[in-house]
Amino acid sequence: MNRPEQYPILDFDPDPAAIIEPKMLYKGVDLPEHCIICFFYEVIRKLVKNCPAKIVFASEWESGSHPYYEIEYKNQRLGLIHPGVGAAIAGSILEEVITLGSRKIIACGGAGVLNPEIVVGHLIVPQFAYRDEGMSYHYMEPSEKAAMNPKALYAIQSVLDEKQIPYILSSTWTTDAPYRETSGRAAKFRSLGCATVEMETAALMAVADFHKVIFGQILYGGDLVMESGWDNRNWQSREEIRENLFWLAADACLAITEDAHA
């Protein structure tokens, strides 16, 4: 039997230097300290249309351009960018955002739910993410799960509690393969306490932890992923929920302080 260290995905290299780094590709960029990683294209489009927003830089990939916008919110600079879908590109864009100056980052997105009692739109705060993807293993020693930064978690919970918005504090299952979410795996991760399944959270947590920056995430309940079957629940049409979630993330991002604790 092969030893675990013989599997490439488990052979972690802690060397902080890489052959290709974002600072080689993007020069003279000054990003805001606070940034929102937003998975909602239509929210970004509306925001850019209705608010004074400027493009600070654009992350360029073969699949297209991901502009990083800057707005002013509560008299502070706030960045926002869509990171694409999937751990590899989202984690890589987060790497760029961090390298170019953003240090306090909150992501907002949707996720499949593993419990039918979680209605569409209910907020979930993923304190932990089970690492069933590949990106995180290049930024963190092999382990079962990654954890949200306590300072981000404290800021998120403080904002939601202050606004009296109900949420579920839980774990999430991060996978690269949405078409391999089998009944057995869904049951396994639900038994481990996961409320949701998505494609990026573990990677984003690992990249942020590697670079020692503050990262957190808020999800909203989307489609139902269960052994009994899949129900889309028309989850992507909830425009008001998605826009409101962006502003909650913005409030939480600006609420992050260095001395906060969970």
Q: What is the CATH number of the domain that holds 214?
A: 3.40.50.1580
In a domain, 229, yes or no: yes
pLDDT at 262: 46
In a domain, 3, yes or no: no
Mean pLDDT of 68-94: 97
Q: What residues contact 93, with CB distance under 8 A and at least 6 apart?
A: 37, 59, 66, 81, 83, 84
Does the pLDDT at position 228 exceed 90? no
CA distance linking residue 240 with residue 242, whole number of Å? 5
Does the pLDDT at position 218 exceed 90? yes
In a domain, 20, yes or no: no
Query: Whole-number mean pLDDT of the chain?
Result: 94
CA distance linking residue 9 with residue 68, whole number of Å? 31
In a domain, 22, yes or no: no
Specify the number of domains making up the chain: 1
pLDDT at 227: 86
- Residue 219 structural domain: 29-255
In a domain, 5, yes or no: no
Does the pLDDT at position 6 exceed 80? no
In a domain, 6, yes or no: no
- Of 125 and 261, more confident: 125
pTM of the model: 0.94
* 8-26 residue pLDDT tens: 999 999 999 999 999 889 9
Residue tagged 């949420």 (tokens): 167
In a domain, 16, yes or no: no
CA distance linking residue 89 with residue 63, whole number of Å? 10
- Of 178 and 3, more confident: 178
In a domain, 260, yes or no: no
pLDDT at 1: 53
Terminal CA-CA length for the chain:
42
* 114-137 residue pLDDT tens: 999 999 999 999 999 999 999 999
